[in-house]
Protein backbone atom coordinates (compact mmCIF):
# COMPACT_ATOMS: atom_id res chain seq x y z
CA UNK A 1 0.00 0.00 0.00
CA UNK A 2 1.46 3.38 -0.91
CA UNK A 3 1.71 6.05 1.76
CA UNK A 4 0.44 9.60 1.34
CA UNK A 5 2.01 12.85 2.50
CA UNK A 6 0.96 16.48 2.78
CA UNK A 7 2.83 19.63 3.83
CA UNK A 8 1.73 22.12 6.49
CA UNK A 9 2.48 25.84 6.15
CA UNK A 10 1.27 26.97 9.60
CA UNK A 11 2.04 26.04 13.21
CA UNK A 12 -0.28 23.32 14.50
CA UNK A 13 -0.63 25.01 17.90
CA UNK A 14 -0.82 28.78 17.35
CA UNK A 15 -1.59 28.90 13.60
CA UNK A 16 1.35 31.25 12.95
CA UNK A 17 3.26 31.10 9.68
CA UNK A 18 6.74 31.98 11.02
CA UNK A 19 8.26 28.51 10.62
CA UNK A 20 12.05 28.13 10.38
CA UNK A 21 13.75 24.88 9.34
CA UNK A 22 16.19 23.96 12.12
CA UNK A 23 17.32 20.39 11.33
CA UNK A 24 17.34 18.29 8.14
CA UNK A 25 17.79 14.53 8.60
CA UNK A 26 17.31 13.71 4.92
CA UNK A 27 14.56 11.69 3.20
CA UNK A 28 13.57 8.67 5.33
CA UNK A 29 10.83 6.03 5.34
CA UNK A 30 8.42 6.14 8.33
CA UNK A 31 10.46 4.54 11.08
CA UNK A 32 7.99 1.89 12.24
CA UNK A 33 7.53 0.63 8.65
CA UNK A 34 9.59 -2.55 9.03
CA UNK A 35 9.29 -4.51 5.82
CA UNK A 36 9.68 -7.94 4.28
CA UNK A 37 12.76 -8.22 2.01
CA UNK A 38 10.40 -8.70 -0.98
CA UNK A 39 8.84 -5.26 -0.39
CA UNK A 40 12.07 -3.21 -0.52
CA UNK A 41 11.51 -2.10 -4.13
CA UNK A 42 8.20 -0.39 -3.25
CA UNK A 43 9.52 1.45 -0.19
CA UNK A 44 8.86 5.21 0.06
CA UNK A 45 10.87 7.94 1.80
CA UNK A 46 9.74 11.41 2.88
CA UNK A 47 11.60 14.54 4.06
CA UNK A 48 12.41 14.43 7.78
CA UNK A 49 12.95 18.04 8.84
CA UNK A 50 12.30 19.86 12.09
CA UNK A 51 10.83 23.37 11.94
CA UNK A 52 10.51 25.93 14.74
CA UNK A 53 7.52 28.24 15.16
CA UNK A 54 9.20 31.42 16.36
CA UNK A 55 5.83 32.70 17.65
CA UNK A 56 4.89 30.02 20.21
CA UNK A 57 8.09 27.91 20.38
CA UNK A 58 6.68 24.64 19.01
CA UNK A 59 9.23 22.47 17.17
CA UNK A 60 7.40 20.34 14.63
CA UNK A 61 7.45 18.41 11.36
CA UNK A 62 5.64 20.01 8.43
CA UNK A 63 5.83 16.93 6.15
CA UNK A 64 2.97 14.77 7.39
CA UNK A 65 2.71 11.12 6.40
CA UNK A 66 -0.97 10.21 6.81
CA UNK A 67 -1.50 8.62 10.24
CA UNK A 68 -3.97 6.11 8.75
CA UNK A 69 -1.09 4.79 6.62
CA UNK A 70 1.50 4.72 9.44
CA UNK A 71 -0.72 2.99 12.00
CA UNK A 72 -2.43 0.51 9.66
CA UNK A 73 -0.03 -2.42 10.28
CA UNK A 74 1.74 -1.27 13.42
CA UNK A 75 4.54 -3.46 14.79
CA UNK A 76 5.29 -1.55 18.01
CA UNK A 77 4.02 -3.49 21.06
CA UNK A 78 4.90 -1.60 24.23
CA UNK A 79 4.53 -4.56 26.61
CA UNK A 80 7.55 -6.26 24.98
CA UNK A 81 9.63 -3.83 27.08
CA UNK A 82 9.90 -4.99 30.71
CA UNK A 83 11.54 -1.68 31.66
CA UNK A 84 8.52 0.21 30.28
CA UNK A 85 6.06 -2.03 32.15
CA UNK A 86 7.84 -1.18 35.42
CA UNK A 87 7.85 2.51 34.53
CA UNK A 88 4.10 2.66 33.84
CA UNK A 89 3.37 0.68 37.01
CA UNK A 90 5.00 3.56 38.89
CA UNK A 91 2.90 6.10 36.97
CA UNK A 92 -0.42 4.40 37.84
CA UNK A 93 0.53 3.62 41.46
CA UNK A 94 1.57 7.25 41.93
CA UNK A 95 -1.56 8.70 40.29
CA UNK A 96 -3.93 6.53 42.35
CA UNK A 97 -2.09 7.45 45.56
CA UNK A 98 -1.85 11.19 44.80
CA UNK A 99 -5.31 11.82 43.29
CA UNK A 100 -7.33 8.96 44.87
CA UNK A 101 -10.19 8.78 42.34
CA UNK A 102 -13.41 7.24 43.75
CA UNK A 103 -13.72 3.45 43.33
CA UNK A 104 -15.26 2.62 39.96
CA UNK A 105 -14.34 6.00 38.43
CA UNK A 106 -13.61 6.00 34.69
CA UNK A 107 -9.92 5.86 33.69
CA UNK A 108 -9.06 6.27 30.00
CA UNK A 109 -5.76 5.48 28.26
CA UNK A 110 -5.49 7.21 24.87
CA UNK A 111 -3.18 5.32 22.54
CA UNK A 112 -3.42 2.24 24.77
CA UNK A 113 -1.38 0.11 22.32
CA UNK A 114 -1.46 -3.50 23.58
CA UNK A 115 -2.99 -2.52 26.95
CA UNK A 116 0.32 -1.87 28.76
CA UNK A 117 -1.13 0.98 30.89
CA UNK A 118 -4.57 -0.58 31.44
CA UNK A 119 -2.89 -3.71 32.86
CA UNK A 120 -1.19 -1.60 35.57
CA UNK A 121 -4.44 -0.79 37.43
CA UNK A 122 -5.40 -3.01 40.40
CA UNK A 123 -8.29 -5.23 39.34
CA UNK A 124 -11.70 -3.63 39.95
CA UNK A 125 -10.24 -0.26 41.09
CA UNK A 126 -11.50 1.78 38.09
CA UNK A 127 -13.69 1.33 34.99
CA UNK A 128 -11.08 1.07 32.25
CA UNK A 129 -11.32 2.26 28.65
CA UNK A 130 -8.63 2.16 25.98
CA UNK A 131 -8.50 4.12 22.71
CA UNK A 132 -6.26 2.66 20.01
CA UNK A 133 -6.63 3.07 16.22
CA UNK A 134 -3.68 0.83 15.32
CA UNK A 135 -3.53 -2.94 14.90
CA UNK A 136 -1.87 -3.14 18.36
CA UNK A 137 -5.30 -2.57 19.97
CA UNK A 138 -6.27 -6.15 19.13
CA UNK A 139 -3.90 -7.40 21.87
CA UNK A 140 -5.59 -5.17 24.48
CA UNK A 141 -9.03 -6.37 23.35
CA UNK A 142 -7.92 -9.99 23.60
CA UNK A 143 -6.80 -9.28 27.18
CA UNK A 144 -10.40 -8.33 28.00
CA UNK A 145 -10.27 -4.53 27.87
CA UNK A 146 -12.82 -2.31 26.16
CA UNK A 147 -10.96 -0.57 23.34
CA UNK A 148 -12.30 2.07 20.94
CA UNK A 149 -10.78 1.60 17.49
CA UNK A 150 -10.59 5.30 16.48
CA UNK A 151 -8.26 8.29 16.54
CA UNK A 152 -9.05 10.49 19.56
CA UNK A 153 -10.46 13.97 18.74
CA UNK A 154 -13.11 16.38 20.00
CA UNK A 155 -16.10 14.61 18.37
CA UNK A 156 -15.16 11.20 19.77
CA UNK A 157 -14.69 12.77 23.23
CA UNK A 158 -18.24 14.15 23.18
CA UNK A 159 -19.67 10.75 22.26
CA UNK A 160 -17.66 9.02 24.99
CA UNK A 161 -18.63 11.58 27.65
CA UNK A 162 -22.27 10.74 26.82
CA UNK A 163 -21.84 6.96 26.67
CA UNK A 164 -19.30 6.39 29.46
CA UNK A 165 -19.45 9.53 31.63
CA UNK A 166 -16.45 11.77 32.30
CA UNK A 167 -13.05 10.48 33.39
CA UNK A 168 -11.22 10.93 36.70
CA UNK A 169 -7.93 9.98 35.02
CA UNK A 170 -6.87 10.23 31.38
CA UNK A 171 -3.39 9.08 30.37
CA UNK A 172 -1.62 9.60 27.04
CA UNK A 173 2.00 8.47 27.02
CA UNK A 174 4.08 8.91 23.88
CA UNK A 175 0.90 9.83 21.99
CA UNK A 176 0.35 13.59 22.27
CA UNK A 177 3.34 14.35 20.05
CA UNK A 178 1.94 12.09 17.29
CA UNK A 179 -1.17 14.20 16.66
CA UNK A 180 -1.49 16.64 13.75
CA UNK A 181 -4.72 18.25 14.97
CA UNK A 182 -3.40 18.60 18.51
CA UNK A 183 -5.96 21.34 19.29
CA UNK A 184 -8.90 18.99 18.62
CA UNK A 185 -7.20 16.33 20.76
CA UNK A 186 -6.73 18.79 23.66
CA UNK A 187 -10.32 20.07 23.33
CA UNK A 188 -11.48 16.44 23.49
CA UNK A 189 -9.54 15.91 26.72
CA UNK A 190 -11.25 18.95 28.23
CA UNK A 191 -14.66 17.50 27.25
CA UNK A 192 -13.95 14.02 28.63
CA UNK A 193 -12.24 15.13 31.86
CA UNK A 194 -14.28 15.26 35.08
CA UNK A 195 -14.36 18.63 36.91
CA UNK A 196 -11.56 17.52 39.26
CA UNK A 197 -10.08 15.00 36.80
CA UNK A 198 -6.39 14.79 35.88
CA UNK A 199 -4.86 14.32 32.43
CA UNK A 200 -1.33 12.84 32.57
CA UNK A 201 0.86 13.07 29.48
CA UNK A 202 4.38 11.83 28.93
CA UNK A 203 6.54 12.90 26.03
CA UNK A 204 10.23 13.37 25.21
CA UNK A 205 11.16 16.90 26.33
CA UNK A 206 12.42 19.21 23.59
CA UNK A 207 15.03 20.87 25.84
CA UNK A 208 16.47 17.45 26.78
CA UNK A 209 16.48 16.42 23.11
CA UNK A 210 18.51 19.50 22.17
CA UNK A 211 20.83 19.51 25.20
CA UNK A 212 21.54 15.76 25.14
CA UNK A 213 21.38 15.32 21.33
CA UNK A 214 18.47 12.84 21.26
CA UNK A 215 17.89 13.54 17.57
CA UNK A 216 16.86 9.89 17.02
CA UNK A 217 13.49 10.67 18.66
CA UNK A 218 12.71 12.69 15.51
CA UNK A 219 10.64 10.60 13.09
CA UNK A 220 7.47 10.91 11.02
CA UNK A 221 5.14 9.64 13.76
CA UNK A 222 6.42 12.33 16.15
CA UNK A 223 4.92 15.46 14.60
CA UNK A 224 5.63 17.69 17.62
CA UNK A 225 8.70 18.13 19.86
CA UNK A 226 7.05 19.46 22.97
CA UNK A 227 7.89 21.88 25.75
CA UNK A 228 5.79 23.72 28.33
CA UNK A 229 5.80 27.11 26.55
CA UNK A 230 3.90 26.04 23.40
CA UNK A 231 1.66 23.75 25.49
CA UNK A 232 0.66 26.75 27.64
CA UNK A 233 -0.64 28.36 24.41
CA UNK A 234 -2.53 25.21 23.48
CA UNK A 235 -4.09 24.61 26.91
CA UNK A 236 -5.17 28.24 27.32
CA UNK A 237 -6.97 27.96 23.96
CA UNK A 238 -9.07 24.93 24.99
CA UNK A 239 -9.65 25.51 28.72
CA UNK A 240 -6.97 23.32 30.28
CA UNK A 241 -4.04 24.14 32.58
CA UNK A 242 -0.78 22.35 33.44
CA UNK A 243 -0.41 22.24 37.24
CA UNK A 244 2.52 19.90 37.93
CA UNK A 245 5.52 18.55 36.05
CA UNK A 246 7.99 15.74 36.81
CA UNK A 247 11.13 14.59 34.99
CA UNK A 248 11.56 10.88 34.36
CA UNK A 249 14.65 9.11 33.04
CA UNK A 250 12.64 6.27 31.46
CA UNK A 251 10.05 6.66 28.73
CA UNK A 252 9.04 4.90 25.53
CA UNK A 253 11.57 6.98 23.55
CA UNK A 254 14.01 7.84 26.33
CA UNK A 255 13.93 10.39 29.16
CA UNK A 256 10.54 12.10 29.31
CA UNK A 257 8.52 14.89 30.83
CA UNK A 258 5.43 13.85 32.79
CA UNK A 259 2.92 16.70 32.77
CA UNK A 260 -0.21 16.82 34.95
CA UNK A 261 -3.08 18.82 33.47
CA UNK A 262 -6.52 19.81 34.78
CA UNK A 263 -9.46 21.90 33.60
CA UNK A 264 -8.51 25.60 33.68
CA UNK A 265 -11.07 26.37 36.40
CA UNK A 266 -10.11 23.41 38.63
CA UNK A 267 -9.28 24.13 42.26
CA UNK A 268 -5.90 22.38 41.87
CA UNK A 269 -3.06 24.82 42.55
CA UNK A 270 -0.39 25.36 39.90
CA UNK A 271 2.79 24.05 41.53
CA UNK A 272 6.20 25.74 41.60
CA UNK A 273 7.58 23.09 39.22
CA UNK A 274 5.48 24.64 36.43
CA UNK A 275 6.41 28.26 37.17
CA UNK A 276 10.10 27.35 37.33
CA UNK A 277 10.06 25.41 34.04
CA UNK A 278 8.29 28.25 32.26
CA UNK A 279 11.02 30.70 33.36
CA UNK A 280 13.80 28.22 32.50
CA UNK A 281 12.49 27.79 28.94
CA UNK A 282 12.38 31.52 28.35
CA UNK A 283 15.96 31.92 29.61
CA UNK A 284 17.09 28.93 27.51
CA UNK A 285 15.71 30.49 24.31
CA UNK A 286 12.79 28.25 23.38
CA UNK A 287 11.78 30.51 20.43
CA UNK A 288 15.33 31.44 19.33
CA UNK A 289 16.47 29.77 16.05
CA UNK A 290 20.15 30.15 17.06
CA UNK A 291 19.60 27.63 19.86
CA UNK A 292 18.54 25.04 17.26
CA UNK A 293 21.21 25.87 14.67
CA UNK A 294 23.79 24.96 17.31
CA UNK A 295 21.88 21.67 17.89
CA UNK A 296 22.08 20.84 14.17
CA UNK A 297 25.85 21.40 14.15
CA UNK A 298 26.30 19.12 17.19
CA UNK A 299 24.16 16.41 15.54
CA UNK A 300 26.57 16.39 12.56
CA UNK A 301 29.57 16.07 14.88
CA UNK A 302 28.12 13.12 16.81
CA UNK A 303 27.26 11.36 13.53
CA UNK A 304 30.94 11.54 12.55
CA UNK A 305 32.03 10.19 15.96
CA UNK A 306 29.68 7.16 15.82
CA UNK A 307 30.82 6.29 12.28
CA UNK A 308 34.48 6.59 13.32
CA UNK A 309 33.94 4.24 16.28
CA UNK A 310 32.20 1.60 14.11
CA UNK A 311 35.07 1.83 11.58
CA UNK A 312 37.62 1.43 14.39
CA UNK A 313 35.93 -1.76 15.70
CA UNK A 314 35.85 -3.24 12.19
CA UNK A 315 39.46 -2.25 11.46
CA UNK A 316 40.48 -4.36 14.48
CA UNK A 317 38.60 -7.38 13.06
CA UNK A 318 35.43 -6.92 15.13
CA UNK A 319 31.97 -7.82 13.83
CA UNK A 320 29.23 -5.27 14.35
CA UNK A 321 25.50 -5.84 14.75
CA UNK A 322 22.79 -3.74 16.35
CA UNK A 323 20.74 -4.40 19.47
CA UNK A 324 17.03 -3.61 19.61
CA UNK A 325 14.88 -2.41 16.70
CA UNK A 326 13.00 0.63 18.04
CA UNK A 327 11.54 3.19 15.65
CA UNK A 328 14.09 5.79 16.73
CA UNK A 329 16.91 3.41 15.81
CA UNK A 330 15.87 3.81 12.19
CA UNK A 331 16.30 7.59 12.30
CA UNK A 332 19.85 6.94 13.52
CA UNK A 333 20.66 4.20 10.98
CA UNK A 334 19.28 6.19 8.05
CA UNK A 335 20.88 9.50 9.02
CA UNK A 336 24.23 7.70 9.40
CA UNK A 337 23.58 5.92 6.05
CA UNK A 338 24.41 2.53 7.58
CA UNK A 339 23.39 -0.71 5.83
CA UNK A 340 23.96 -4.49 5.91
CA UNK A 341 27.62 -4.06 4.89
CA UNK A 342 28.17 -2.01 8.08
CA UNK A 343 25.73 -3.67 10.51
CA UNK A 344 25.28 -7.42 9.90
CA UNK A 345 21.97 -7.93 11.74
CA UNK A 346 19.72 -6.49 14.42
CA UNK A 347 18.66 -8.42 17.56
CA UNK A 348 15.02 -7.93 18.59
CA UNK A 349 12.59 -9.74 20.93
CA UNK A 350 9.35 -8.52 19.26
CA UNK A 351 8.39 -11.53 17.12
CA UNK A 352 6.44 -9.29 14.70
CA UNK A 353 9.71 -7.63 13.60
CA UNK A 354 11.87 -10.78 13.39
CA UNK A 355 12.37 -11.86 9.77
CA UNK A 356 11.79 -8.35 8.45
CA UNK A 357 14.40 -5.74 7.56
CA UNK A 358 14.87 -2.25 8.97
CA UNK A 359 13.21 0.54 6.93
CA UNK A 360 15.62 2.42 4.68
CA UNK A 361 18.78 0.64 5.86
CA UNK A 362 17.46 -2.89 5.06
CA UNK A 363 19.39 -4.71 7.82
CA UNK A 364 17.95 -8.16 8.65
CA UNK A 365 16.20 -8.47 12.04
CA UNK A 366 16.77 -11.70 13.97
CA UNK A 367 15.67 -13.08 17.34
CA UNK A 368 17.95 -12.72 20.36
CA UNK A 369 19.03 -16.39 20.20
CA UNK A 370 20.10 -16.18 16.54
CA UNK A 371 22.03 -13.01 17.30
CA UNK A 372 23.88 -14.71 20.19
CA UNK A 373 24.72 -17.69 17.97
CA UNK A 374 26.09 -15.46 15.16
CA UNK A 375 29.39 -14.67 16.89
CA UNK A 376 28.94 -10.90 16.57
CA UNK A 377 31.05 -9.29 19.32
CA UNK A 378 29.97 -5.62 19.22
CA UNK A 379 26.45 -4.19 18.91
CA UNK A 380 25.30 -0.64 18.22
CA UNK A 381 22.74 -0.22 21.03
CA UNK A 382 19.72 1.35 19.29
CA UNK A 383 17.69 1.09 22.52
CA UNK A 384 20.38 3.14 24.32
CA UNK A 385 17.73 4.56 26.70
CA UNK A 386 17.61 1.11 28.38
CA UNK A 387 21.43 0.79 28.67
CA UNK A 388 21.47 0.05 32.42
CA UNK A 389 18.73 -2.56 32.05
CA UNK A 390 20.58 -4.37 29.25
CA UNK A 391 23.97 -4.19 30.98
CA UNK A 392 22.40 -6.05 33.91
CA UNK A 393 20.10 -8.42 32.01
CA UNK A 394 21.21 -9.15 28.44
CA UNK A 395 22.76 -12.52 27.58
CA UNK A 396 24.81 -10.76 24.88
CA UNK A 397 26.70 -8.79 27.55
CA UNK A 398 26.89 -11.77 29.94
CA UNK A 399 28.61 -13.75 27.14
CA UNK A 400 31.25 -11.05 26.66
CA UNK A 401 29.65 -8.80 24.03
CA UNK A 402 30.14 -5.03 23.98
CA UNK A 403 27.73 -2.19 23.20
CA UNK A 404 28.50 0.88 21.13
CA UNK A 405 26.33 3.47 22.90
CA UNK A 406 25.53 6.18 20.31
CA UNK A 407 23.81 8.80 22.50
CA UNK A 408 24.07 11.04 24.42
CA UNK A 409 27.83 10.28 24.61
CA UNK A 410 29.47 7.94 22.12
CA UNK A 411 31.27 5.14 23.97
CA UNK A 412 31.87 1.38 24.11
CA UNK A 413 30.70 -0.50 27.25
CA UNK A 414 31.56 -2.40 29.30
Report whether pLDDT(253) > 70.
Answer: no
Indicate the SS3 state at residue 392.
Answer: helix
Task: Answer left, alpha or beta for residue 104, where phi above 0 means left and psi between -120 and 50 means alpha.
Answer: left
Give 71-88 as a DSSP string: SSS----GGG-HHHHHHH
Q: Which residue has the higher pLDDT, 264 or 67?
A: 264
Q: Looking at residue 341, what is its pLDDT?
A: 96
Helix (H, G, I), strand (E, B) or coil at 213: coil
Mean pLDDT of the 34-42 span: 91
Region 66-84: what's the mean pLDDT? 67
What pLDDT was estimated at residue 385? 85
* Per-residue pLDDT at 206: 95
Q: Which residues contact 279 (CB under 8 A, 6 or more apart)?
A: none
Question: Averaged over 197-205, what is the pLDDT?
Answer: 95
| Cross-strand pairs, 405 | 411
pLDDT surpassing 70 at residue 78 = no
Q: What is the pLDDT of residues 219-237, one digit of tens each?
A: 998 899 999 999 999 999 9
pLDDT beyond 80 at 172: yes
pLDDT at 387: 92
H helix count then E strand count, the chain: 13, 19
Is the pLDDT assigned to residue 273 strictly greater than 90?
A: yes
> Can you list the domains of the chain with their CATH numbers?
78-289 (3.40.50.150), 290-413 (3.40.50.720)
What is the largest distance, in Å, between two alpha-carbon atoms of the chain? 66
CA-to-CA distance for 374 and 304, rounded, in angstroms?
28
* pLDDT value, residue 68: 67
Could you give the count of Cα atoms lying within 13 Å of 325 in the half-sphere of its Cβ?
35
pLDDT of 303-356, one tens digit each? 999 999 999 999 999 999 999 999 889 999 999 999 999 999 999 988 889 999
Contact 288, 206 (CB under 8 A): no
Question: How many residues can be counted in the chain?
Answer: 414
For residues 270-285, give the mean pLDDT.
Answer: 97
| 350-406 pLDDT tens trace | 888 999 999 999 999 999 999 999 999 999 999 998 899 899 999 999 999 999 999
pTM for the complete prediction?
0.88
d(CA 152, CA 22): 30
- Share the mean pLDDT of the chain: 93
| DSSP H or E stretch at residue 59 | strand 59-61
Q: What is the DSSP string of 310-376?
A: HHHHHHTT--EEEE---HHHHHHHHHTT--TTT---EE---TTTTTSB-TTT--BEE-HHHHHHTT-
User: Which residue did the predictor score with more confidence, 136 or 346?
Assistant: 346
Predicted local distance difference test score (pLDDT) of residue 30:
87
* pLDDT bracket for residue 249 (50, 70, 90): confident
> In this model, does residue 87 exceed pLDDT 60?
yes
State phi, psi for 312 to the nearest 5 degrees: -65, -45
**Could you give the CA distance from residue 391 to residue 36 in angstroms, rounded to a whole number?**
31
Amino acid sequence: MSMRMRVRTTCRICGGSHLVRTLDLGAQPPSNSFLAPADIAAEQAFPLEMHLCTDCGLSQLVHIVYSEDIFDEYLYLSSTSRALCQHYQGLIDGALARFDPPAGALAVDIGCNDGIMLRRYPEGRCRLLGIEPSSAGKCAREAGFEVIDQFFEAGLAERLATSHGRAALITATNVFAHVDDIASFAAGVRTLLADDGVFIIEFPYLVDMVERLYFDTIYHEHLCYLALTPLDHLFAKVGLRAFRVERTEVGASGPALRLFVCRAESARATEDSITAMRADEQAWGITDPARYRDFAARVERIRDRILALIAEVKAKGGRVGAYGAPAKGNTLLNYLKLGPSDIEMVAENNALKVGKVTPGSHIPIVGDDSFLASGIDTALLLTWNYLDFFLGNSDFIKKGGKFIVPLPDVKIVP
